[in-house]
Amino acid sequence: MSNGSAQEAGERISGKIRSSEGNRRIFYGAFLAALAIFLAIAESVIPKPLPWMRIGLANAITLYAFTVLKPREVMLLVLSRIIASSLMLGTFLSFTFLLSLTGGIVSFFVMYLFYVLRGRWLGIVGISILGAVSSNAAQLAVVNGLFVNSRLSYALFPFLFLFALAGGTISGLAACFLIDNI
């Protein structure tokens, strides 16, 4: 076997290993996306005080995904969850979809930023709460900007903050469970 042949064989094996790792990441990301879609749809049957308010259980999957996927893969997971669940729930391209998309994108960036900066003073539950608060704030800004345009809509913010605090805590605890046990 010549040196060139050995090198080519090594490159083929190395390519297969990389491809295998890439395939695992794709499979794992798809599995997490499916789980997040399931949670988003399951959560849609829980009664809500306002149409766009949710506990945000699918964000537990997003927080877990930060520990095992690359940021762009987590963003793809978030977008897949929002689009697929809205298609299945019949809300695609509706006002509800716009609110979900806005809240999901804003909370992704906020949670990712604080996930990268986390330390002793901020854990997964705190990051989840920040994501929930930022999602509600972004959704309220969209509602106010597109439809209401009044101070009354901002009077809802304390109520939304408390709801985000509760929902973010629940999602954060679920994410901690996933991180510790999977």
Q: For residue range 85-135, list pLDDT tens digits in order.
A: 999 988 898 888 998 899 999 999 999 999 998 877 889 999 999 999 999
Q: Which residue would you say has higher pLDDT here, 97 or 53?
A: 97
Q: Percentage of the chain surpassing pLDDT 70?
A: 85
Task: State the pLDDT at residue 73.
Answer: 93
> What DSSP string runs through the chain?
--HHHHHHHHHHHHHHHHHHHHHHHHHHHHHHHHHHHHHHHHHTTS--SSTT----THHHHHHHHHHHS-HHHHHHHHHHHHHHHHHHHT-TTSHHHHHHHHHHHHHHHHHHHHHHH-BTTB-HHHHHHHHHHHHHHHHHHHHIIIII-SHHHHHTHHHHHHHHHHHHHHHHHHHHHHHHH-
Task: State the pLDDT at residue 78.
Answer: 95
The CATH number of residue 137's host domain is 1.10.1760.20
- Binned at pLDDT 50, 70 and 90, residue 9 comes out as low
Task: State the pLDDT at residue 24.
Answer: 81
Q: For residue 164, give every residue at least 6 positions away whose Cβ sits within 8 Å of its Cβ, in sequence order, or none.
A: 129, 132, 133, 135, 136
Range of the domain at 52: 3-181
Number of structural domains (the chain) is: 1
pTM confidence score: 0.81
* Region 155-163 average pLDDT: 84
Task: State the pLDDT at residue 7.
Answer: 62
- Binned at pLDDT 50, 70 and 90, residue 59 comes out as very high
* Region 8-34 average pLDDT: 71
